[in-house]
Structure 1
């Protein structure tokens, strides 16, 4: 579904990514792992067209999307839950969700307003509240729900549970497990290795803008040297 090949990108002449390559198949959950500042968010931003690649290729659903503007990439069926959530602060929960509604996967839409509110009961309770009045965890739920309202073929989450209370994290991991069970393709960034190894099919470890290791959850669990070298602070 998503294929990233030899991706090079950066900011204002400073190179951050040095030939990143990986793929996400249909119905697959793949993680991007690495310490802070290693290029994970830049990779996501390059995939979404928010950072223009200087070399390499990005293909989605068999089509080359390298260098396309963000709205055209998103319209092909990629839903992004960005770092920092970025909900619309003055719109209500319901307005935030309706604002992004689309059917980018084709066919009958899986995710409608009632479905998303059922997935996140906390949002149903706060549906009339403006985004700015939600807690951090509620805002993250809203950001995920907003991305689902586009009915994406691929869902990308950058720092899925960072900084959230344990009970909220557990709710979000449960939602992601349900999405996986339903066949939703997911590309995921987070630091909770225990949760990630339970959820994901494969992991891609990035160090200083390069892929240094890839493998299954079983392989990662059996590779303490990878965790100690590339993932621990």
Structure 2
């Protein structure tokens, strides 16, 4: 579904990514982990065309999308749950969802209400009238309404209460069951190891560790101590 090959990117004179390689197969849950400031969000920005590629290649379904615009990548099947939620504050919950809707897949308003019943209860509330957890659910639902083939979640549980985090994590299984691949950007190895298939770890803009979920569980302490703890 997605292949990132030898990706380099940065801001102005500062280079942030140095030859990043990453793959996500159809129906697979893959994580990109690392401490703050190691290049995770830069990778997401480059993947979605918000930051130009300096070198390397991005393929979606075998098509070269390295120089494609953000709209073309969305049409190719990428859906983003951005860091910081970024819901539309002056639209209702339902309007936030309908604004991004695309037909032709399993995700519609009924499916989102079933996934997040709390959103249906708040469907007429404005985006800025929701709690942080409800806004995160709305951000996930908004991405799903585009009926993506690959959902990218950038720090989707940052700053949320443990119960809300668990609710967000549990919904990923349903998303995968509906046929979408998932790329999760986070640093919570314990939670991610419960449902992910494979993992990548970024350190100073480079992939320094990659392996299966079994590999992570076998060396969880080593990976966390070397690359994830502050």
Q: What is the alpha-carbon root mean square deviation over aligned residues? A: 1.0
Cα deviations across residues 173-199 of structure 1 (Å, max 9, x unaligned)? 111122223332000012222210011
State the Cα distance separating 1:170 from its structure 2 match: 1.4
Runs of 4+ residues over 3 Å off in structure 1: none
Counterpart Cα distance in 2 of 1:69 and 1:3: 17
5+ long unaligned stretches in structure 2: none
Counterpart Cα distance in 1 of 2:164 and 2:228: 23
Determine whether 1:222 maps to 2:218: yes
Which residue of the partner structure matches residue 166 of structure 1?
162
Give the alignment of 1:77-156 within 5 angstroms. Answer: 77-103=77-103, 108-156=104-152
Counterpart Cα distance in 2 of 1:184 and 1:101: 16
Instruction: Confirm or deny: 8 A CA contact 2:149 2:179 kept in the other structure.
Output: no
Local SS of the residue matching 2:45: helix
TM-score normalised over the length of structure 2: 0.97
Give the alignment of 1:60-79 within 5 angstroms. Answer: 60-79=60-79
Counterpart Cα distance in 2 of 1:184 and 1:153: 5
Aligned residues: 229
Counterpart Cα distance in 2 of 1:50 and 1:179: 25
Local SS of the residue matching 2:4: strand
State the Cα distance separating 1:129 from its structure 2 match: 0.3
Determine whether 1:177 maps to 2:177: no
Instruction: Confirm or deny: 8 A CA contact 2:34 2:186 kept in the other structure.
Output: no
Counterpart Cα distance in 1 of 2:55 and 2:153: 24
Give the alignment of 1:185-200 within 5 angstroms. Answer: 185-200=181-196
Counterpart Cα distance in 2 of 1:222 and 1:231: 16
Instruction: Confirm or deny: 8 A CA contact 1:80 1:155 kept in the other structure.
Output: yes
Instruction: Confirm or deny: 8 A CA contact 1:28 1:183 kept in the other structure.
Output: no
Give the alignment of 1:17-96 within 5 angstroms. Answer: 17-96=17-96
TM-score normalised over the length of structure 1: 0.96
